[in-house]
Amino acid sequence: MRLILFCLLALTCTTQSFGQSNTYPSKPIRFIVPFAAGGSTSILSRLVGDRLTKSWGQQVLVDNRPGGNTIIGTEAMVKSQADGHTILFATTSHVTYPQLTPAPYDALKDFAAVATIGNSQYVLVINADVPANTLLEFINFAKARPGQLNFSSPGGGGMGHLAGEMFNILAAVKLQNVSYKGSAPAVTDLVGGQVQLSFVTPINVMSHIKAGKLKSLAITGKRRMDALPQMPTFAEGGLPSFDMSVWFGILAPAATPGTIINKLSTEIAKFLTQPDVAETLASQGMDPFINTPEQFATLMKADYAKYAKVIETAKIKLE
C-alpha cells in the first residue's frame, strides 16, 4: 500500500512539474535590475528581455531598482513568488556586497542560479608617466614605494576595489584605494595623473590606451585581447595567480521549480550562440558566457569563497 501511495505521489509531482514547464510563462515576466538605468547592465538586460519576449510571446518588463549596493532590488526579487515570473539580473557583486554590508538575504541559499550571459576580464592600466612598461617592472616599482601609489576604483567594495586588494596580496605590494562614484571619474583622474593605476574592464579604457594616455600591463583570463594583442595575460606577465573577471547572469528565487529554471536557462543559452548577440556583447567588452544552472551555482559558491578571503585579509569595510 505504501509503495502504491509513493508511486502516486511521484506521478503527481512529475505531472505538476511538467505542467508548470509546459505553461510557463503564463503572464509577463518582471526582470529586476538592481542598477540604475544606463551602461552595460541596461544593454544586457534589454537584450535578454527582447529575446525572451520574441521567443515566448510574453512581455519581459525590465524594472530598474537601484540602491543599497544592489540590495534593494535584490530583496524585492527574493520576496517575489517563486514561479519564474520574477527574475533578477546579477553580477559578481551579488556574492561580494552581502559580505561587506548587512543584507536581508543569503546570497547563495536564497537564490536559484539560472544562467550566465557574459563575462569581462580586467586589465591593469597605469598612467603614462609611471616608469614601468611590464607587469614585473611595475611590481618592483610598487614594492620600492609601499603606500605611495594609489589605484582608483568606481566605488568602495566594488570589483575594481577588490581587484586592487587582491593584487596587493598576491604581488606583495601596498597600493592605496581611492574610491570614486562611478567608472568615468575614476578613469578621468587616472588619465590626469591624480592616481597611478586602476583595475578596470577594457571597455572603459580602450580609447585611452590606444591614444597613449594609459599603459596596459596585463589582462586576466587565459588569452590576449584581439583588440590589444600586444598586452600579455597576467600569467604571461609573471603573476599567474591573479585571475578575476566579472560575470553577468540571471537568478530566481530559491524555490523556483527546476523545470522552469531549465527552460529559462536553455532559452538563454540558445540565443547566446547567435552572431549578433556576440557582437552586442563584444561592443561592451564582453564574451558570451554559457553555463548550466548547476555550473553557475558552483561558480557563485567559488567566487563567494574567493572574495571572502580577499575581504578578510584586506580588512575591507564599507562606511
Give pLDDT tens digits for 34-82.
999 988 899 999 999 999 999 999 999 999 999 999 999 999 999 999 9
Q: How confident is the model at residue 276 (pLDDT cuts 50, 70, 90)?
A: very high
Grid look-up 603614462 returns 128
Query: What is the pLDDT, as a whole number, of residue 20?
Result: 55
Q: What average pLDDT does range 232-237 have in this prediction?
A: 97
Give pLDDT tens digits for 287-306.
999 999 999 999 999 999 99
Category of 195 on φ-ψ map: left (φ > 0), alpha (ψ -120 to 50) or beta: beta
- Strand bridging mode 214-219 / 123-127: antiparallel
| pTM of the predicted protein model | 0.89
Query: Phi/psi of residue 117, each to 5°?
Result: -110, -50
5 pLDDT higher than 50: no
9 pLDDT higher than 80: no
Query: What is the pLDDT, as a whole number, of residue 118?
Result: 95
90's CB contacts (< 8 A; 6+ apart) are 34, 70, 74, 248, 249, 250, 251
In one-letter notation, the amino acid at residue 72 is: I
44: Cα separation from own chain's centroid: 12
269 pLDDT higher than 50: yes
| Domains (range + CATH), the chain | 28-120+246-314 (3.40.190.150), 123-237 (3.40.190.10)
